[in-house]
Chains A and B, each alone.
Chain A
């Protein structure tokens, strides 16, 4: 150990040199040149040390092809007036995994010249729902289909004491779940969603199909499709995915599916539909069918999504799930015999967005033909206020839960029971 230590110290010591300007300006942590470091003269006081003028850029070397440079390489020592010899970079003769540098992107095996536009869970696209509809070749309709909503109106599909239990769930998530005065938004929205899911799952004795489902957290999604000449990809880890063993039944009849081919997708000139997408150059599970996706608002300060962008993200991820399922079931053919339906619910703790997406075709290259369909119910409030303190700046505001709307939970329940009831 000792000789090694002395060797190491000798190496450090040989850097000792009095009165030397250490030109450390070419070093950084990664061994790459950086101009963050500068020259220091440590033998004088700070005031004089700072008086060095800023470093000038070195003279640009001009390469004249065909002109042979006379270098001092042959003479093995520096000669003023001759050029500095340039040697080819040294490569190790054997492969050592500790010192492997990956080739630039152009020389990698999977490189493709065409750019691929990637949508991930933090993407916030400029035009919101319209851009998502164009990218997925979807016709978006406001409001949910009435036969879905009437599912929850039937008495056998309702919970005993439904309103009271939902209000208890809201109060639990908003008031009782913490030792601090108020729970934070990410916490209460998460608790509220899990409570509501639990309430819906208590219907399992009467609806046995509910038991053939499972919740998956933090799943990763990857789906690719071609639109026009560009490749698009969705990748990401999302919120909650509710998967089931049986697929969801189709929402919309054949006739209406054919009618969508007459509708035109909205365009938003001059903004290209690929704006805000990241440009990149190019497993058996017993519950295979994606049933519902649950989206929560993230607390990440870098990606605050406005409501429009949040709905766009819901559409894109629902589409991604449906597309992945379609590729798995039907392979590369374009028209699906049975359309794939996926649902999504997004919430910020108080306001809910419901989405039902039906994938009719995977032929997304052109703008005409059969389109996919989506029904989007925007900004449905579950309750108006859930205030902790009764007085806010001398104005009397009722503490506790106020303005509870039972229809929202019945929609939630309807989406949950769809396919099981």
Chain B
């Protein structure tokens, strides 16, 4: 009986607008662009409530900040087509992502504009990066940040957005705008544009040097000796990033690399080309992120 109903329905196939299945589900939008009525191979579209695509981007969809570690799915170097795009990635220990707040000068909802202090609750290992992370608690909220070298549980850390006339003698771990720091301080977690969050100098043991301050901008030397000119209102943290002996560690065995998620490279001998070997070349020119009309020539 049900089968005869089904066949009768199939026979009376029309190209009318789709009706609502029930009054609660919203209307399905069908693209009726290319319609080839064929009775033999009909592809029935169907709706499911479960995710049709393997949703790997759960991390990118969260909007509320949380300090709870979030599970991540390993990509294995594969992209959305399923083919390997980056070789040498796969396997390794499971990791949970702790959402680090890279915008250090983030005010609480009602307390804009004033410098604030926070207390370091704990400093711990983070599997997702080479540096250690620290849990800061201040006011009503807790957040993770990249820890600096001598940060310990119980320290009080200051964050300020104010540039005074005199340079501040900053303690390690505090965050100030570049314009407020004395020339020659070691800095890390550098922002390129003010308010965008720090993108540079975040790896273990790295530090940049504030070279000079030029009318409204500051020039910082990155760990690769490249020099960068940014606005002086960009916030940086003072000191070196934690875990300074990270580059001195010895992997020791192939298995430890596999635990880190690094797959072996192909063992095929290939002749090295022009990219190999030591290169001695002058430093690239200073990168300017300030968008000022250049007064000097060129």
Contacts and interface: CB of A to CB of B under 8 A. Distances in A.
A38 B53 contact: yes
B82 A24 contact: no
B51 interface: yes
Contact of A42 (B29, B34, B43): B43
Contacts of A24: 28, 45, 47, 52
Contact of B51 (A26, A37, A275): A37
A280 interface: no
B25 A31 contact: yes
Contacts of A272: 138-140
B222 to A, nearest CB: 32
A179 B119 CA distance: 49
A36 B51 contact: yes
A274 interface: yes
A83 interface: no
A56 interface: no
A26 B5 CA distance: 30
B16 interface: yes
A121 B23 CA distance: 41
Nearest to A29: B49
Contacts of A6: 5, 8-9
Contact of A270 (B31, B35, B118): B118
Interface range on chain A (Cβ under 8 Å from partner): 35 or more
Interface string A39-81: 0101100010011011000000000000000000000000000
Interface in A102-121: none
B31 A38 contact: no
A51 B81 contact: yes
A11 B140 contact: no
A286 B34 CA distance: 76
A27 B18 CA distance: 15
Interface stretch (A13-21, A150-158, A257-265, A384-392): A13-21
A20 B32 contact: yes
Given A15-B18, A27-B26, A38-B53, A275 B137 contact: yes
B38 interface: yes
B45 A15 contact: yes
Contact of B29 (A11, A13, A26, A38): A26
B283 interface: no
B31 A23 contact: yes
Contacts of B35: 17-20
Contacts of B141: 275
Q: Give me the 4 closest cross-chain CB pairs, A-B, nearest first.
A: A22-B45, A29-B49, A270-B117, A36-B51
10 contacts: A12-B9, A19-B43, A20-B43, A22-B47, A26-B29, A37-B51, A38-B52, A271-B139, A274-B140, A275-B139
Interface of A: 2, 5-6, 9-24, 26-29, 31, 35-38, 40, 42-43, 47, 50-51, 53-54, 99, 126, 268-272, 274-276, 279
Given A37-B51, A40-B52, 19 more contacts: A6-B5, A11-B18, A11-B20, A12-B9, A12-B21, A16-B13, A17-B42, A18-B43, A20-B34, A22-B28, A23-B31, A27-B26, A27-B47, A27-B49, A51-B81, A126-B137, A270-B138, A272-B138, A279-B140
